[in-house]
Amino acid sequence: MTTPLISPSILNCDIARLEDELRKISSADIAHVDVMDNHFVPNLTWGLPVVEACVNTGILPIDAHLMIEDPDRWAPAYAEAGCASVTFHAEAASAPIRTAREIRRLGARAALALKPSTDIAPYVDILPEVDMILIMTVEPGFGGQSFLESMLPKIQRTRDAIASASLDISIQVDGGVSRKTIERAADAGATNFVAGSAIFRADDAFEEIATLRSLAQLHMH
């Protein structure tokens, strides 16, 4: 049976207390760090130095989600920096296979992210090149948005495509994941759950992570 992975997004954390904030979520499986360049998405967060700082704390493995233009050029540096996983967007990559192979060559898991309006169908044939598909369940750019129920069929289609190809690829969901929505996402086929405000605004982050994990486990196939 697959175990759900809980990946808290540090988007809404107190960046001045980065190490403390990572300790607050240390019972999670991986920390999700959103890199935004104010071009691909209308928000600017942080880049390689902050991601490296997160890696160097050694508290959790780091999952870098690159919401940036030209990931073909920039993504390998995040793998070199020691990220466990590097996610780049299908809409921004001009050479997704080459980029995924380069990320893997440098020792990280490679993941392909899809915005809500991007279908999985054109990417089914390149599934063997990646370790994870990220299905955005909000429009990327800002934390605290509501989960888009309309993404559930896409999660199911992705799960079916992975099963048909007999591949071991995880499906990550990011955006509006909370106690209210995680069960439906797990039921549709998600296995890796990014939650930001749901965890960082909780009174007890450890307890919230444990609750999300158990809710997802109940609904995973």
Residue positions annotated with a catalytic role: 34, 174
Of the candidates 166, 165, 213, 164, the one whose C-alpha atom is nearest the C-alpha of residue 190 is 213
Measured between alpha carbons, how far is 74 from 76 in angstroms, rounded to an integer?
6
DSSP state of 169: -
Q: Which residues contact 125 (CB under 8 A, 6 or more apart)?
A: none
> At 197, which helix (H) or strand (E)?
helix 197-200
Q: Which residues contact 149 (CB under 8 A, 6 or more apart)?
A: 184
Q: Which residues contact 107 (CB under 8 A, 6 or more apart)?
A: 79
Measured between alpha carbons, how far is 53 from 35 in angstroms, rounded to an integer?
13
By DSSP bridging, strand 109-114 and strand 132-136 are parallel
Report the DSSP beta bridge partners of residue 135.
Answer: 114, 173
